Amino acid sequence: MVARTSTDTPALEAVLRAVAEAVIATDRAGVITFVNPAAERLFSLAAAQMVGQPLRALNPGLGHWLERALKEKQAAPLVFELEIGDGRHYFASLASLPGRGRQRAGWVVSLQDVTPLKKLEQWKSDAIQTAAHDLRDPLNLITGAANFLRDTLAEPTREQEECLAMIKSGADRMSKLIEQLLSLEHVESGMEMAKSNLSLRQVVEQVAADFRMAADEKGVTLRFEGEPATAEVLGDESWLQRAVANLVSNAVKYTPRGGRVRVRYHEAEGRGVVEVIDTGPGIPKSAQARLFQRFYRVEGESTRRNPGTGLGLAIVKTIIERHAGRVWVTSAEGKGSTFGFLVPLVRS
């Protein structure tokens, strides 16, 4: 059954009966006022047994998230994962119900069973880990054999030098692919990051300094432009460094000799904003929507001259989304590109 409140209508009840997700509503204090049949099935309780009880009494995890929302005066919905029952995983959303004026009428929780997806993610993770491990052994053999041949050939011919260089180049690309696959799997798996309050501006400035020599060797001018930081971000320094490094590395790689790369940091609307601006060949508009997809590479002469794995931008996107941020790109063919991301600032 559906527990009724004064605001129930036949249409609302019909909708809630048809919804596969469990739905629970509470008053402002977190006392349950409403459940749908899916919620009854999930918790193996009748609606009458749940209505009037605190949300925490139904599930301590839900109670914890509600207390967090109350403490932080959360306006936007909180989205999180929750384990309920015998190893079942649920994707949960906790949002406030508007009342009169600025008053909050209560809260609503929706719970979607994502256990099959979690099992699929685990299978994918195991498959990637196994493949990476199995690829490393033959890759080490290839690299070792190539090094042995190079050392034993007293005066290698030009053809032999070219063959050895091809072997080394292929092995290096495969090694990078394995490393990036494992990196992407790590950040996508939801594994805990070592987050702390840190200066995003300092992270960006340091990465720009690290790439200055590589840019100079290529004949590309690399410059950091940073406004003063007024707040920190809650983040994992090593992963944020990797995200910035992937963007700067791409910019230097695809910008021709005599070009410029600017790495910028500024703050806007409570967010730290990072932009990497280059004077490279630009990206066709038709390709821009797919740039952050894994293994996608833009077709063209510049891409053929600069081999890659097609995973760098996918890693950036995943890292930034794990920091509650977002990524973007703006580009025009022949006029260069701007890749950027933003993450929320925290103020003490």
User: Which CATH number applies to 10-113: 3.30.450.20, 1.10.1270.20, 3.40.50.300, 3.30.70.360?
Assistant: 3.30.450.20
pLDDT at 189: 66
In the predicted model, is pLDDT for residue 3 greater than 90? Answer: no
Q: Which residues contact 277 (CB under 8 A, 6 or more apart)?
A: 251, 261, 262, 263, 264, 336, 337, 338
What pTM, to 2 d.p., does this model score?
0.57
Which pLDDT value is given to residue 127?
A: 73
Asked which of 58-62, 206-210, 222-226 is least confident by mean pLDDT, the reply is: 58-62
Residue 71 DSSP one-character state: H
Q: How is residue 87 written in tokens?
A: 């190893």
The CB density around residue 48, as the number of other CB atoms within 10 Å, is: 11
Q: Give the separation between CA 28 and CA 107, rounded to whole angstroms.
A: 7
Q: Give the C-alpha separation, 114 to 284, whole Å.
A: 37
Residue listed under structure tokens 């199995």 = 134
pLDDT, tens digit, 9 for 90 and up, residues 128-153: 677 777 777 888 888 888 888 888 88
Tokens of 41: 């099935």
Calculate what percentage of the chain has a pLDDT beyond 70.
Answer: 84
Q: Average pLDDT, stretch 206-231?
A: 93
- Tell how strand 221-226 and strand 260-268 pair up: parallel
What number of helices (H) and strands (E) belong to the chain? 13, 12
Burial pattern 95-128, b for ≥16 Cβ within 10 A else e, equals bbeeeeeeebbbbbbbbebbeeebeebeeebeeb
The DSSP call for residue 54 is B
Tell me what pLDDT residue 264 has. 95
CA pair distance 82, 92, nearest whole angstrom: 7
Confidence of residue 340 (pLDDT cuts 50, 70, 90): very high
pLDDT in tens, 223-281: 999 998 899 999 989 889 999 999 999 999 999 999 999 999 999 988 999 999 999 88
Question: CA torsion 50→16→100→63, rounded to 10°?
Answer: 40
Maximal CA-CA distance, the chain: 92
> DSSP string covering 269-326, please?
TTEEEEEEEE-S----HHHHTTTTSTT----SHHHHHS---S-HHHHHHHHHHHTT-E
Q: Are 294 and 311 in contact (CB under 8 A)?
A: yes
Q: Which two tokens stand for residue 341?
A: 């991301």
Q: What is the CA radius of gyration of the chain?
A: 26
Select from 3.30.565.10, 3.40.1160.10, 3.50.50.60, 3.20.20.70 the CATH code of 196-346. 3.30.565.10
Between 70 and 191, residue with greater pLDDT: 70
- Give the pLDDT confidence score for residue 210 in this predicted structure: 92
